[in-house]
Structure 1
Amino acid sequence: MGKVLSFGELLLRICPDADGLWLKENNLPFYVGGAEANVATALALWNVPSAYFTALPDNFLSEQLITYLKEKQVQTDTIVFQGSRVGLYYLPKGKDLKNAGVIYDRAGSAFADLTPGTIDWNAVFNGVSWFHFSAICPAVNQAVADVCEEALKAASERNIKISLDLNYRAKLWKYGKDSVEVMPALAQYCDLIMGNIWAANTMLGVTLDEKMIAERDKESLLKHAQLTSEQIKSMFPNCSMVANTFRFDYEQGIRYYTTLFIEGKLITSQEYLVDKILDKVGSGDCFMAGLIYGFYNQLSPKETLEFATAAAFKKLFIESDATTSTVAEIKDTITSYAK
């Protein structure tokens, strides 16, 4: 197997506290982030050959960010240098990226200024066997969406496995197109599509039966996951695997479980229930990385799903965008929470 290449925008997450104490204390925490970078660093931590492709300005800040990635054993050889700024986003601690409180500051970034016809895909895909991207990339603007399609065509021509995370960010889709007008054309190239039943409806036009899941009970949600997965497989024949995550806040705590549809069967993970969590950012990225890790290492579908789910669950207790959990720690989590 070759390396796994993740493609997306490297971001800095700025974390002002909700009460404005950062102004008085002159202390504003930040984290290196970006959905695809989180996948790349997780895979490298788990000893999967991992590379990351993005665009950054040619300045000292980018040099430091690249050094950060290299220290995490992520290959950065094909990064494009252009423009003058790194993308930012602001999110108070503990909040979800789907929360209305998120503020994006990404217009005019080096990544946002990518254009089709300017990238040497032969160099980018040299030695690559798996290509990962998320729906956040084509949400930036039409040019980046076109670059995504160009990348997918190039990867497909080289028989590279392709995975897609259906991250929906309503505040990013502002250039005149809804996600459902863009994402199906990209999803047709993908072998593995991950998200949830709501994202599949919003971004791919997959049917959502609100009456079926009105009570949000697990049995109905799993039944809907089966129907959603079957429809995705029907709409996009190249897709052989569909994964769904479910995380809900109940009175008794937070419940988390996932599914994987493969070879016509729906596999369900064990369920995790806890009173509280620390940081919601990056959990889905960790789940995606866990799926890639499992398939890359030829684990069984059930083993792959349990590893990915445990990895994502552990990320909920790590205060950063990227995971720091080792393979051994993730496996211990699976055992300790098993019923």
Structure 2
Amino acid sequence: MKQIVTFGEIMMRLSPPNHERLTQAPALAVTYGGGDANVAAALVQLGQPAAHAGCFPANPLGHAAAEHFQRYGVDMQHCVFSENGRLGLYFLEVGASLRPSRIVYDRAESSFAHLNPAAFDWAKILDNARWLHWTGITPAISASTAQACGEAIAEARRRGLTVSADVNYRRNLWQYGQRAQDVMPPLVAGCDLVVCTEGDAEDLFGIQPAAGASNSFVSMAEQLIARFPRIKQVIATKRETQSASHERIRGLLYQGGEYYETAPYDIAPVIDRIGGGDSFISGFIYGTTVHPADPARALAFATAASALKHTIAGDINLVSAAEVEHIVAGNTTGRLLR
């Protein structure tokens, strides 16, 4: 089976244990994550071969980050190790009840930000691929990462691969002199599938739901597809956050003039919400692969996968396809399995 290839930055994640605050923690737990790579790792757990392309510092931290994803079965052979830059960090305080989780980033001047686009031979990287996935974080980091992302999409299009993106607009990341509103549209124009909320569509593309629209997501998706005709599917999760420990989510899909919406999953307590969106798109890629003629089933699988991720510590959704299908079938009581 051919691979799903992802491209983006991987960072070290440092978290105080037991819901402690950074100011009181005597120690920090270490793991690694990145939106694009999280998708690749989740897909491998679901039985889909996946590879990740990225850039790391040529030091023990960089190698540790790459080896973390290798341990979960991700093909990391296309990653570049550079003498320039450092490994980006992020610090996560896991909230509880009415205190929200909080992230502090320390990612400036990373090796990924300073990557050389010429170091990535996309013809070779995509030679055994069927799908390319990227997120809006990647072109936000630097001009060189945006260039490399565009080159990857162009090669994927030449090869007839499926291209997906989680547009994931992070305003504070766009610091290198280019506007997201200028950089993102040409990249999104090369996509077949996008994860996009109404808020991201307005911020990035100036798209607002039509006045009086009965369904704001459908109105947004129709306009997005009209603007970028290559897009065939628009998906998103709708979240109703009750507290840091309690989340309710449902999946949304617009495709071919049809709207699909799942029943909500009520998740309490939330163990770790980081990677929930990555789990959603990885679940949808899996569901689309296994059930190509049944978009409702693909969406149901994606939403269940995202719900399960909220119960798992770390960035990666460590669940099998059978475990997700168990939830899709309505087994949500959490009864002991023997």
On whether the aligned pair clears a TM of 0.5, the verdict is: yes
What does 1:102-141 correspond to in 2, within 5 Å? 102-141=103-142
Indicate the residue corresponding to 1:288 in structure 2. 281
- Does the alignment pair 1:61 with 2:61? yes
Aligned to 1:21: 24
Q: Does 1:232 align with 2:232?
A: no
1:243 to 2:235 alignment: yes
The code of the aligned residue for 1:287 comes to F
In the other structure, the counterpart of 2:249 is 256
Partner of 2:291: 298
Aligned counterpart, 1:5: 5
Deviations 1:138-187 (A, max 9, x none): 11012211211111111111111100002122221222333222211110
C-alpha displacement of 1:245: 1.1
Matched-pair contact (CA < 8 Å) for 1:254–1:274? yes
User: Gaps spanning 5+ residues in structure 2: where?
Assistant: 333-338
Measure the CA separation in 2 of the matches of 1:205 and 1:241. 19
Contact 1:44 1:73 in 2 (8 A): yes
The question of whether the paired residues in 2 share the 8 Å contact of 1:94 and 1:280 is answered with no
Counterpart residue number, 1:169? 170
> In structure 1, how many angstroms separate the alpha carbons of the residues matched to 2:28 and 2:298?
38
TM-score (norm. length: structure 2): 0.89
Aligned mates of 1:145, 1:164 — CA distance in 2: 13
Secondary structure at the residue paired with 1:48?
Answer: coil
Please give the secondary structure, in 1, of the residue aligned with 2:110.
Answer: coil
* TM-aligned CA deviation for residue 250 of structure 1: 4.0
Q: Which stretches in structure 1 are left out of the alignment for 5+ residues? A: 214-219
Q: TM-score under structure 1 normalisation?
A: 0.89
Deviations 1:17-71 (A, max 9, x none): 326221xx3x112221000111010001111011011011222333333332222
2:311 — aligned with what? 317
Q: Report Cα offsets for 1:199-231 as digits up to 9, x if no partner.
A: 12112322146x869xxxxxx5xx111111111
- Structure 1: which amino acid aligns with 2:10? L
**1:80 to 1:101, Cα distance in 2 relative to 1, 3 A:** same
CA distance in 2: counterparts of 1:19 and 1:107, whole angstroms: 20
Distance 2:132 2:255 in 1: 19
Instruction: Tell me if the contact between 2:209 and 2:217 (Cα under 8 Å) persists in the aligned partners.
Output: no
Q: Distance in 2 between matches of 1:103 and 1:229?
A: 32
Q: What's the RMSD between the two structures over aligned residues?
A: 2.3
* Aligned residue identity for 2:46: W
- 1: CA distance, partners of 2:331 / 2:169: 30
DSSP 3-state at the match of 1:91: strand
